[in-house]
Amino acid sequence: MRELDWASLTAAHWYDKFIPMPRKAKVAFSLDSQLLAQIERIRQGTGESRSAVIGRALQKLTSESAHQNEVERYVAAYREHPESRSEIRSARLHARRTLSRLPWEDP
What is the mean pLDDT of the segment spanning 4-18? 56
78 backbone dihedrals φ, ψ, rounded to 5°: -65, -40
Checking phi first, is residue 105 left (phi over 0); if not, alpha (psi -120 to 50) or beta?
beta
34-80 pLDDT, tens per residue?
999 999 999 999 999 999 999 999 999 999 999 999 999 999 999 99
Position 81 confidence tier, pLDDT thresholds 50, 70, 90: very high
pTM for the structure as a whole: 0.52
% of the chain at pLDDT higher than 70: 79
How is the chain split into domains, by residue range?
6-86
Q: For position 84, what pLDDT does the model report?
A: 94
